Amino acid sequence: MNTITAAITAVGGYVPDFVLSNQVLESMVDTNDEWITSRTGIKERRVLKGEGLGTSYLAIKAAENLFSRKNINPAEIDMVIVATTTPDMPVASTAVYVASQIGAVNAFAYDLQAACSGFLYGMSTAAAYIQSGRYKKVLLIGADKMSSIIDYTDRATCIIFGDGAGAVLFEPNQEGLGLQDEYLRSDGIGREFLKIDAGGSILPASKETVENRQHYVFQDGKTVFKYAVSGMADVSEKIMQRNGLSKDDVDFLVAHQANKRIIDATASRMGVDEAKVLVNIHRYGNTTSGTLPLLLSDFEDKFKKGDNLIFAAFGGGFTWGSIYLKWAY
C-alpha cells in the first residue's frame, strides 16, 4: 500500500492595485528611499483601498485566481483554512465567510493565526488532513490586510508592511511528492517584541486605547531582526541536515519576505546560490501570511516536478519554522 503524501497541485495570488512606493512614504514620514531599500530591500507595497473591503476580499481574489488557473470546481473542496493575523472581525471566522463566497459549499473552514508563520503552520495542518486520508482537497489561503493595523506616522513599521494574499490547493499524492518534513518552533519570549497592545481580552478597546494608538502594530525592530536571522537560518539548516540535503539538492528557497537581509542570511547559512532564492519583497513588502503563497504564485513557472523546495518563516509570538516539500507538477 502506497503512503499518501500531501502535494500542492495549484496556486493563486492577488495583490491590490494601489501602489505605496518609498517616494510616497517620504512625503508621509521622516524617511527616504535609500534608507528603506538598504535596510529592508523594499521599494513598494500594495494597499487595499475601498470601503468595506477586508482580508476576506484578498483571500477570495487569491482563491478565484487559483480556480481560474487550474479550472477547479470549488464544490469539490473539502476544507478551507485561512491563515491571517488581520481577520475581518473578531469572533466571526474569516475563512467561513470566504468559503461561502467562493462556492466551497461542501467545505468546513476556520482561521489560523501564527503571525508571519501562519501560512507555514497552515501547510503542516493542511498536509496532516490530507495524509489522514479523510480529505482529498484542502484549500490553504494566506491573506493579510496589514494596512488596517499599521500606524502611518510610525516610520519603524509603516515602511515594512503591505496587503496581499496567496492560495494553494493540497491533494493526496502517491508518488512520494509533496510535503516531506517539517521543523516548527515557537517561544513566548517574543510576545513583548511584536504585538498589538489593545483589542484583546487583556486590554479591551476603549476611548483611551484608541487615543493612545494602541490598536496598531508595535515592533522592537532590532530584537525581532536578531531572533529572525538566527531562527530562520537555524531551522532551514536543520531541515537540510535531517533529510540529507546538500546545497546542490535544494532547487529553491521559499523564505518569508520580511527583510532582504534576513533572507540573505538564511540563504548564506544554507549555502544556497542566490539564483535559487525567490524574492518579491521589493514589490510587495511584508504581507505577513501572504508572503509564501505569493512567492509560489509569482514563480510557479520556474518549478519542475520533483524540485526540492525549502520553506522558512519567522513571525511574532515568536513563531518560526521550516518545511521541505517536493514540487508535484
pLDDT in tens, 264-312: 999 999 999 999 999 999 999 999 999 999 999 999 999 999 999 999 9
Mapped onto helix, strand or coil, the DSSP state of residue 288 is: helix
pLDDT at 142: 99
Topology (CATH level 3) of domain 5-176: Peroxisomal Thiolase; Chain A, domain 1 (3.40.47)
- The 10 Å CB-count burial string (b at 16+, else e) for 80-112 is bbbbbbbbbeeeebbbbbbbeebebeebebebb
Mean pLDDT (the chain) is 97
Residue listed under C-alpha cell 542566490: 274
C-alpha closest to that of 7 among 137, 143, 141, 165: 137
* Inter-helix orientation angle 33-40/260-270, to 10°: 30
Question: In this structure, are residues 326 and 176 in contact, taking their beta carbons and an 8 Å threshold?
Answer: yes
Question: What stretch of H or E contains 169?
Answer: strand 163-173
CB burial readout 207-222, b (16+ within 10 A) else e:
eeeeeeebbbbbbeee
| pLDDT band for position 63 (cuts 50, 70, 90) | very high
206-236 pLDDT per residue, tens: 999 999 999 999 999 999 999 999 999 999 9
Contact 196, 217 (CB under 8 A): yes
Long-range pairs, 239-243, Cβ under 8 A, ≥24: 239/181, 239/182, 239/183, 239/310, 239/322, 239/323, 239/324, 240/270, 240/310, 240/324, 242/181, 242/183, 243/180, 243/181, 243/324
Instruction: Tell me whether the CATH fold assigned to 5-176 matches the one assigned to 179-327.
Output: yes
pLDDT of 1 over the 60 cut = no
Beta-sheet pairing, 319-326 with 178-186: antiparallel
The active-site residue, picked from 22, 65, 116, 308, is 116
CA-based nearest residue to 15, from 285, 311, 300: 285
Which three three-digit cell numbers place residue 79?
476544507
pTM, two decimals, is: 0.97
- Catalytic member of 65, 158, 173, 256: 256
Q: Are 205 and 215 in contact (CB under 8 A)?
A: yes
Can you give the residue ranges of every domain in the chain? 5-176, 179-327
Confidence of residue 53 (pLDDT cuts 50, 70, 90): very high
Adjacent-strand bridge partners of 183: 322
Tens digit of pLDDT for each residue in 140-163?
999 999 999 999 999 999 999 999
Catalytic annotation present for 116: yes
Q: For 157-193, write each residue's pLDDT tens digit.
A: 999 999 999 999 999 999 999 999 999 999 999 999 9
Please give the average per-residue pLDDT across 93-100, as a whole number: 98
Choosing from 65, 173, 280, 286, the catalytic residue is: 286
> Cell 546560490 belongs to which residue?
273
Rounded Cα–Cα distance for residues 131 and 179 (Å): 10
Could you give the dihedral angle defined by the CA atoms of residues 167, 170, 171 and 173, in that order, rounded to the nearest 10 degrees? 130
pLDDT value at 68 more than 90? yes
Q: Is position 158 annotated as part of the catalytic site?
A: no
- pLDDT at position 2: 67
Topology (CATH level 3) of domain 179-327: Peroxisomal Thiolase; Chain A, domain 1 (3.40.47)
**Cβ neighbours of 1 (radius 10 Å):** 4
**282 catalytic, yes or no?**
no
